[in-house]
Structure 1
Amino acid sequence: MANQESTAHEQLTTEISNDDTERKQKIIDLKIEGNQQFKLGNYEEAIRFYLNGLDICLAHDQDDDDNRQTMVILYSNLAAAKDHLQLYDEAIEYCDKALAINDSHSKALIRRAQLYRKTDKLDESVADYNRFVELNPNDKSILPIIQELKCQIDERNEKLKAEMLTKLKDLGNVVLKPFGLSTDNFKLVKNPETGGYSVDFQKNQ
């Protein structure tokens, strides 16, 4: 009886092992085919293969480290394909899914940083690039990109500030007109040390 139970257990273990091997090979085959289609520029076909691979992964144990790492790669590949189709928001979502599994995956970080930049989400882009630098301190190639982005952010903020001040000035003129005043009676003076502003009142000439 004991021998029969042992034999049955060995057969079941072998079947599970064989099923697992077949599953992994199927995912590998789908990923390879997706990569080939990607290289040919057939991005929609590549997406189909990557998604089929993901379906198999999602049907398996989500706590399996190898399975999770495969999912990260497939999500990242999907993001790349969506990027080439200029479906940037969808590409970002796939990067989010990859990084939700492994927040240190450098390729997904770089890809999302690039996508954020394309969609004018400059602050988010800098954050991802900075995270990449933290993970790869010896890679200096990203530093000029970060500096360029910071300059773009400063320019954007100054432009927004100027637009806001213009709107406030127009509103102020409406409020002050009944009193014979305008915003020209009030001069903004910038403090070069703090970057803040003070208001000086000037009488009408």
Structure 2
Amino acid sequence: MTENQEHQPESERTEPSIAQPTNAGTDLTEIDDPLSQCEAVILTPEERKVLIETALEHKTTGNTHFKNKDYASALSSYQEALAVCPEDSSAERAVFYANIAACYIHMEDYKKAVENCSEALKCTPNYSKALLRRASANSRIGSWSSLTDSLADYKKILELEPGNKEALAATRTLPGRIEVQQEKEKNEMMGKLKDLGNSFLGNFGLSLDSFQMNQDPKSGGYSINMKK
């Protein structure tokens, strides 16, 4: 997928799509058309129709902003769509959350993208596009825990779509990144602990360099002694 393709939304449709979200494509920032298949729980059919039509109008406005790369305005429109969408309309709400996440990815607010993808997945657990966006956002955050979560999502995607090229590539490269990042964060933590220890020992005219750690060859235990 080229960079230009990644930023292209789906074509507008005159009627809302009825395809399941789990069958969506793999473009991380491609926007979806919501669904209208949930049964009414509290609302009457007429009330539900009005609310969903209103949500679709906000979505259509958001699509226009998205295509014009006005992601802040697109975000606002998708949030308005979510606000009027019936609470029990899980499929529709999943799509709106995923569209919001797409905006946040473009706006480089990856933590909020992750949060909204997680909300989408609460509505539709096997929503592959939300999994892809969350995996990508976590990969861009780049912390050890985020990279680990990213790898887990890519593995889940491969369960749903065994031939997904992006997921296949990520599962090959992420383990190495995770190992490097884990070592980096461990060293940073040890450095902070050493600074904290030196700050405390400095009150007594000492530092951690004043001590040495020795391992007992028989027990394998360690003892800390003052250097002579």
TM-score by length of 1: 0.67
Change (3 A) 1:158 1:21: closer
How far, CA to CA, are the matches of 1:89 and 1:71 in structure 2? 19
Which of the residues 133, 138, 143 maps onto 2:158? 133
Q: Which aligned pairs between 1:41-190 and structure 2 lie closer than 5 A?
A: 41-57=69-85, 60=86, 62=88, 67-120=89-142, 121-160=146-185, 177=210, 182=212
How far, CA to CA, are the matches of 1:163 and 1:111 in structure 2? 29
Secondary structure, counterpart of 1:142 in structure 2? helix
2:50 maps to 22
Q: Which of 1 and 2 has higher RCO (CA within 8 Å, sep 6+)?
A: 2
Which AA in structure 1 matches 2:91?
Answer: Q
How far, CA to CA, are the matches of 1:92 and 1:84 in structure 2? 13
How far, CA to CA, are the matches of 1:166 and 1:19 in structure 2? 60
Which AA in structure 1 matches 2:84?
Answer: I
Gaps of 5+ in 2: 1-43, 198-205, 223-228
Structure 1 residue 25, shift from structure 2 partner: 1.9
Structure 1 residue 26, shift from structure 2 partner: 1.8
Structure 1 residue 164, shift from structure 2 partner: 6.8
Once the two structures are superposed, residues 110-154 of structure 1 have per-residue CA deviations (whole angstroms, 9 ceiling, x without a partner) of: 101111111112111111111111111232442221211111112
Secondary structure, counterpart of 2:162 in structure 1? coil
Change (3 A) 1:44 1:163: closer
Structure number having the greater helix percentage? 1
How far, CA to CA, are the matches of 1:37 and 1:166 in structure 2? 47
Asked if the contact 2:194–2:208 (Cα under 8 Å) also holds between the matched residues in 1, the reply is no
Gaps of 5+ in 1: 1-15, 188-196, 200-205
Root-mean-square deviation (CA, aligned residues, Å) is 3.2
Q: Identity of aligned pairs, percent?
A: 30
Change (3 A) 1:165 1:104: same
1:37 maps to 65
Alignment coverage as a number of residue pairs: 165
Which AA in structure 1 matches 2:154?
Answer: Y
